[in-house]
Amino acid sequence: MFSKLAVLVRIAFANLFGSGINILVGVVLFFGAALLVVGGALFGTLDRSLSKSIVGSVTGHLEVYSARSKEKLEVYGKFDGSDSNLAPIEGFSELKAKLLQLPNVKSVVPQGTSGAMLGSGNTIDLTLEKLRALYRNQQDPKTALSEADFRAQADSVKGHVRNMIGLLAKDLEKVTELGTAESVDPEEKAALTKTASEEFWSTFDQEPYAHLELLENKVSPMVADADLLFIRYLGTDLDAYQQTFDRLQIVEGERVPKGRRGILLPRFFQQEYLKLKNARRLDKIRDAREAGRKISNEDDKELQRWLRENQTQPREIVLQLDGIQTKQAVEKLQKALSSQEADLAALLSSFFKLTDDNFDERYKFFYAELAPMLALYRVKVGDTMTLRSFGRSGGFEAVSVKVYGIFEFNGLEKSPVAGAAALIDMVSFRELYGFLTSDKAAELQALKDTTKAKSVSRENAEADLFGSDDAVAVVETKESKIVDLERASGLRETAAEKATRVYTQAEIDNGVVMHAAVTLKDGSPEAIVATRAEIETLLAAAKKAPAADVVAAAQKLLDDKKLPFMLAAAAGPVIDGEKQRAAGKDGPNDDQLIAFKEALFNERARLDPAAYQTLDTLMEGARPEIWVVSWSQAAGALGQFIDVFRLILVGMVVAFALVALIVVSIGVTIATLQRTATIGTLRAIGAQRPFVVGMVFTETVVLTLVFGILGALVGAATVVYLHATGIPAFRDELYFFFSGPALRPDLDVANLVFSVVTTLFVSLLAVLVPVFLAVRVAPVTAMQASE
Amino acid sequence: MRSIIIASGLFFAASAYAQLPKEELVKLLAEQDVRQSATGDYKSLVYLEQSEKDKADVVRELIIYRRDADDKLVLLFTKPKSEEGKGYLRLDKNLWLYDPNVGKWERTTERERIGGTNSRRQDFDESRLAIEFDPELVGEEKLGKFDTLHLKLTVKEGIDVAYPIIELWLDKATHNLLKRQEFALSGRLARTSYYPKWQKIFSESKKADVWFPGEIRIFDEIEKSNKTMIIFKSVDLSPLDANLFTKAWLESKSR
């Protein structure tokens, strides 16, 4: 037996390079095996990296949310940028306690995602706001400064305002000089003249508010408003979040103290949107030069745009400086540029004429000499930031929160995805979210009831309102005394009280929570699946027993084929699951239920009302109160990239298998046909059919193993090389997918084995046809062929 | 014969309107403005409700304070409790929003949705149609049981309003404003409003009646399922505090 095998192996090795066809087949197997090793490592690592990015920054291993929600949870927002329409989790603290009982659950962090506008206002608005706050605080003994401090601060802010008025007056002069004076609003001119006068400032303290209102209403609107900024935020128990997600790193400032209100801003957002635009452009030019781009390259449109905008838009800097600072900046720039120009804007334009030669020097000068006089960021650590959001109960909600720090996630520093959302405390999140509580709803209903307004539909509006004879009668009415609102202060804490209050854990946990991240002690894929099932079982315990009639009615709809295909496919497992549950076994799982809910929603228009009602009742009876989903499901579209990676990998394997199947099959068939005489001779001298079959199989196995293993080894070497050098994230967006600045594919022994086994399996499958041909060769045929 | 006479009469009457010179149309607008002008101070208690599909209704109560002589306006929200103390202040061309939750002022625009509803500042403020718009007659139309004059108004240059083009339907008999449609610059219809109840109060300072719409029904033409209702519950023409139209006054309400 072994001697026969040894003979077959020797024949196989002797024939290995015996024909060109063999070499061709070998090369295909070589590249196939190498591709499987590299592709497997690449996509496997991408899969792990993306999961690391998502799990480590937001979702944890699992997410839970209310099963009453109208839509699926997508923590990064939906495709259109809006947030999922979720119902709040009722009784979060009880849910948290329940989940923490499971041995593998490490933490449960409450969350809610939403977006808000950042308070707007131009430079003058912001400066006048400071001045108003100074005078307002001075009236209250609790917040008043000493007279000397107040005077010093007020004079400094006033100096800044006067400087800005001076600049606006200069602009007006230029307009007049250019002969376009008719475009000057006389009211604006009068306001500037008045507010620039000595008399205005010398009488300021006599009536500070009247003076401020003149400035706010007449002067401030002359300056264009600052950009309106939109910020996404994740409301959470900041203390728990900071402990759970250890990739979070505070790069400036500090963590939000336990129980305090506060916000942490992502570094990416701070740099991209809050930084002084001229400075940000300088940074971008620096980064571009470091990446090998040249200022001299006029075809680099983006770089040229940054250069141009810096030269033409120095105003943001000019408006920020008061009189003394302007003088200092002018002196410094005159010296640096060897210029006699006295106008700061003109000097800045010259300064921003950058070349590859002067860039480094000017970049250094900007940050060393000019930046210390400027507010480089619109909001900085320690500031109070005002966020405005359109609340769920209608109307705008606003909160002011202190910026405690700037954060980034380790390895995801440049990722726009990871750096898109700020972190805000749960109490502020709830205020911004403006959830309609039952108390609020009752108050609104009472208000509606007292007004007793008739409802009018759009369709019938004109007939209802103007169709009758008594419509639009002008009614003589009498004055009635309207009582003024005396004070609205009893309803709310002051901003100062809110800022200093420490909220208890119960206050943080008890209230609206939209979803929660569950992190696990063992976060391996198998453990995630197992713990998810445990949580589902735990939460399913609260379900009522299935209603037999509803299940039967749903089954009938299915049997009668009254349901559209997709809905029938989704309903089947749920109906079966409910039958199982009625029998005391496990019911349908969350994936089945969520799929059914989606299908029911999508097909609702095609169902007759009775059928919809039956299925909806089935759904309501079968679902738990809380869904538990994996991190990739919670990540929505972003999480689906994982499926895309897996699909690509499967596609690669299938494509390779098909190519190999065809090439090996044809190759070995040709090789077999070429050796008809040899096979016939072997048969003539006594070789039996099994020997011939064994010979062809052994030759194929040897060919596959030699080239397959060689290919796998070359693939492995490529992976080791890529791991050592790393594939750089050439776009910022890739940071998130790579979970860092470079993707370093890991070599997995399983990948090696898989590639060789797949190659072997496909080859053996492909060799069946040639084997069939070989065994049909009769000795006489072979001899005739040789004659 | 009789019908011919009636028809001829209507034709000539219609022709008379169709030939209305621009000055007459401006007078029609000025009449609207004068009727609603308070001359002295004006205060009104207002109920505001907005319905949107799949959302809870927005319900508010607010007090309007107006001093038309100085073009000043304050809107102070009084209900529900969570909105109490929030307000708007119009000074010159500026519309300020104050939120006592954060103690801050924000300058908003004419397009500001008051209290998050589809109402605009102009729905609560004095009427300035003749000052802000140039009119032209579109024709005569029937609106329910009413014969109306249909006017198209275009904003004058340099004036900032929420909608640059508006169309009005005025009752031919009483000149009451019944319907108003507002368009964006692109010509897209944004809102349709109805004024089904007009009321008037005699003002001592004006020595004439002050007219105000008992209610306004606004239908959103962009989000078709949204509608807003403004009900003017009562009006008080007593003199107002001299310092009322200041930021300090609105701040003091919630300090």
Query: What pLDDT digit, counting tens, does each position of B57-75 carry?
Result: 889 999 999 998 888 999 9
The sign of the dihedral angle between the CA atoms of A119, A124, A127, A128 is negative
Name which of A126-130, A462-466, A477-481, B38-42 the model is least confident about.
Answer: A477-481
Give yes or no for residue B14 having a pLDDT over 50: no
State the average pLDDT over residues B86-109.
88
> Has residue B17 got a pLDDT over 60?
no
A 102-121: CB under 8 A from B: 119-121
Q: Is residue B150 part of a domain?
A: yes
**pLDDT confidence of A181, banded at 50, 70, 90?**
low
Query: Which two three-digit tokens encode residue A192?
Result: 């500037």
Please state the separation of Cα A707 from the chain's center in Å: 44
Q: Do A469 and B145 touch (CB under 8 A)?
A: yes
- In sign, the C-alpha dihedral spanning A498, A503, A508, A511 is negative
Q: Answer whether A451 sits within 8 Å of B93, measured CB to CB.
A: no
CB interface of A with B, residues 366-395, below 8 Å: 386, 388, 390-395
Count of residues making up chain A = 787
A216 interfacial to chain B (CB closer than 8 Å) = yes
The mean pLDDT of A456-478, rounded to a whole number, is: 79
The pLDDT score that the predictor gives to residue A416 is: 77
pLDDT tens sequence across A285-309: 999 999 889 999 999 999 999 999 9
B219 and A458 within 8 Å at the Cβ level: the answer is: yes
Query: Do B57 and A453 lie within an 8 Å CB cutoff?
Result: no
Chain B hits for A212, Cβ within 8 Å? 247
What confidence score (pLDDT) does residue A474 get?
A: 67
Proportion of chain A above pLDDT 90, given as a percent: 40
Q: Tell me the per-residue pLDDT of A398-445, one tens digit each, with 9 for 90 and over.
A: 888 999 999 998 877 777 777 789 999 999 999 888 877 777 888 889
Facing A467 at nearest CB: one of B63, B80, B144: B144
Looking at residue A488, what is its pLDDT? 64
3-state secondary structure of A437: coil
CB A289 within 8 A of CB A359: yes
Burial class (CB in 10 A: 0-12, 13-18, 19+), A272: middle
Residue range A186-196, pLDDT digits in tens: 888 889 999 99
Range from A32-36, A288-292, A515-519, A663-667 carrying the lowest mean pLDDT:
A663-667
Q: Which two tokens stand for residue A494?
A: 């002051």
Q: How far is A72 from A779, CA to CA, in rounded Å?
A: 70
Q: What per-residue confidence (pLDDT) applies to A782?
A: 60
Q: Per the CB < 8 Å rule, is A462 touching B255?
A: no
SS (H, E, C) A603-657: HHHHCCHHHHHHHHHHHHHHCCCEEEEEHHHHCCCCCHHHHHHHHHHHHHHHHHH
Residue B11 forms part of a structural domain: no
Cβ distance B194 to A444 less than 8 Å, yes or no, reads: no
- Asked if A39 and A641 count as a contact pair (C-beta separation under 8 A), the reply is no
Query: Which of B144, B247, B251 lies nearest to residue A471, judging by beta carbons?
Result: B144
Nearest to B231 among A213, A218, A453 (CB): A453
Cβ-count burial of A107 within 10 angstroms (0-12 exposed, 13-18 middle, 19+ buried)? buried
Domain edges within chain A: 2-55+639-786, 73-118+228-275+377-438+498-522, 123-222, 543-623
Question: Chain B residues with CB inside 8 Å of A218's CB?
Answer: 92
pLDDT of A280 > 60? The answer is: yes
What are the tokens at A642? 């994982």
DSSP conformation class of A274: I
Reply yes or no on whether the pLDDT at B48 is more than 90: yes
C-beta separation of A726 from A410 below 8 A? no
CA–CA gap between residue A156 and residue A149 (Å, rounded): 11
pLDDT at A73: 93
**Top-confidence residue, A70 or A7:** A70
Long-range contacts, stretch A718-725, CB < 8 angstroms, 24+ apart: A718/A34, A718/A37, A718/A38, A719/A37, A719/A38, A719/A41, A719/A42, A719/A745, A719/A746, A719/A747, A720/A747, A722/A38, A722/A41, A722/A42, A723/A747
Which is nearest to A732 in space by CA: A429, A434, A478, A416? A416
Confidence label for B203 from pLDDT (cuts 50, 70 and 90): confident
Task: Return the higher-pLDDT residue of A784 and A389.
Answer: A389
For chain A, give the mean pLDDT. Answer: 86
pLDDT band (50, 70, 90) for residue A33: confident
Domain that holds residue B188: 27-252
Segment A61-86 shows an average pLDDT of 89
pLDDT at A528 over 90: yes
- Which residue carries 């059919």 as its tokens? A689
Which 3 state secondary structure label does DSSP give A287? Answer: helix
User: B137 to chain A, minimum CA–CA distance in Å?
Assistant: 21
Does residue B10 sit within a domain? Answer: no
Q: Residue A433 has which token pair? A: 């979210």
Model pLDDT, residue B2 = 46
Looking at the structure of chain B, the number of domains it has is: 1
Distances (CA, A) of B193 to A462, A616, B170: 10, 39, 13
Residues of chain A found within 8 Å of residue B143, distances taken between Cβ atoms? 462, 466
A492 touching chain B per CB within 8 A? yes
Confidence of residue A69 (pLDDT cuts 50, 70, 90): very high
pLDDT tens digit string along A144-159? Answer: 899 999 998 999 899 8
Question: Does residue B219 form part of some domain?
Answer: yes
Q: Which residues in chain A are contacts of B229 at CB distance < 8 A?
A: 453
| A657 and chain B in contact, CB less than 8 A | no
Confidence of residue A2 (pLDDT cuts 50, 70, 90): low
Instruction: Give the residue, B209 or B15, on which the prediction is more confident.
Output: B209
Q: How far apart are CA A117 and CA B116, in angstroms?
A: 14
pLDDT band (50, 70, 90) for residue A180? low
Supply the pLDDT for residue B100: 87
Residue of B nearest to A399 (CA): B102
Q: Does A399 touch chain B (CB under 8 A)?
A: yes
Contacts of B157 in chain A (CB under 8 A): none
**Tens digits of per-residue pLDDT, A537-573?**
999 888 888 889 999 999 999 999 888 999 999 999 9
pLDDT on residue A176: 73
CA distance B63 to B41: 13
- Find the CATH number of the domain harbouring B210: 2.50.20.10
Residue B148 placed within a domain: yes
Contact A394 B236 (CB under 8 A): no
Provide the pLDDT for residue A7. 74
Tens-place pLDDT, residues A191-231: 999 999 999 999 999 999 999 989 998 898 888 766 778 99
Res B104 pLDDT > 90: no
A483-526: pLDDT as tens digits: 777 766 545 666 677 778 899 998 898 888 999 999 999 999 89
Nearest in space to A745 (alpha carbons), one of A720, A714, A771, A776 = A720
Closest residue to B81, CB basis, from A443, A461, A473: A443
Report the gap between the CA of B58 and the closest CA in chain A (Å): 5
CA distance A468 to B145: 7
More confident residue, A207 or A673: A207
Bridge pairing between strands B146-155 and A515-520: unpaired
Q: Which residue, A636, A109, A84, is CA-closest to A425? A: A109
Whether residue A728 is preceded by a cis peptide bond, meaning omega within 30 degrees of 0, is no
Interface of A with B in 446-465 (CB under 8 A): 447-448, 451, 453, 456, 458, 461-463, 465
Residue (of B49, B171, B232, B46) closest to A472 by Cα position: B171
CB-CB contact of A54 with A631 (8 Å): yes
- Pick left, alpha or beta for residue A633 (phi over 0 → left; psi -120 to 50 → alpha; otherwise beta): alpha
**Most confident listed range (A77-81, A450-454, B116-120):** B116-120
pLDDT of B5 reads 45
Interaxial angle between packed helices A565-582 and A548-559, expressed in degrees from 0 to 180 and rounded to the nearest 10: 150
Q: Which residue has the tokens 């309903």?
A: A571
Give the phi and the psi of residue B47 in degrees, each rounded to 5. -105, 135
- Record: contact A466-B56, CB cut-off 8 A: no
Which pLDDT score is estimated for A787?
A: 47
Chains A and B form CB pairs within 8 A to the count of 207
Return the minimum-mean-pLDDT range out of A240-244, A306-310, B99-103, B178-182: B99-103
What integer pLDDT is reported at residue A580 of this predicted model? 92
For residue A469, give the 3-state DSSP assignment. coil
Indicate whether B13 pLDDT > 50: no
Is residue B83 scored above 70 in pLDDT?
Answer: yes
Specify which residues B151 forms β-bridges with: B137, B168
Q: Which of A375-384, A622-631, A770-779, B173-182 has the lowest mean pLDDT?
A: A770-779
Binning pLDDT at 50, 70 and 90, where does residue A120 land? Answer: low
* Tens-digit pLDDT profile for residues A565-612: 999 999 999 999 999 999 888 899 999 999 999 999 999 888 889 999
Q: How confident is the model at residue B4 (pLDDT cuts 50, 70, 90)?
A: very low
Give CA separation, A595 vs A72, A569, A571, A589, A629, in Å.
10, 9, 9, 10, 12
